[in-house]
Amino acid sequence: MSFAENQTSDEAIDGQKPGDKGSGIFAVPDPASPIQGAFKKVIVTDITYPECVRRGQNCMVYKWLPKRVDQKASDCPTKGSLCTKSCAHDLCLCIDGTCQ
């Protein structure tokens, strides 16, 4: 089994303590979709970075942000932009070379 890619930026965890709370952004496979590689984005608030890493292990990709993110605002405003390992916007994840 391969582990999910952690796209948390170094800046996001710089200066944080293990108990500091933030939000996790997770891409989970969507078995209801007939499209290969389909996923759902899930936002979990009030979790620590270590908890985000633990929860993200069975996801496609994930990242932690040192702030509360609105769980209803999951759309990536730069969807389709090319990326290599991460995307600049908080709500975006780099999946298959594009921000999602």
Confirm whether 27 is domain-assigned. Answer: yes
Range of the domain at 38: 5-70
pLDDT in tens, 73-96: 778 999 999 999 889 899 999 999
Place of tokens 């995307």: 87
Closest CA to 6 of 82, 42, 57, 79: 57
Number of domains in the chain: 1
Closest CA to 60 of 81, 31, 18: 31
How far apart CA 78 and CA 89 sit, in angstroms, is 7
Which pTM was predicted?
Answer: 0.88
Confirm whether 95 is domain-assigned. Answer: no
Confirm whether 12 is domain-assigned. Answer: yes
> Which of 91 and 68 is assigned the larger pLDDT?
91
Confirm whether 78 is domain-assigned. Answer: no
Stated length of the chain: 100
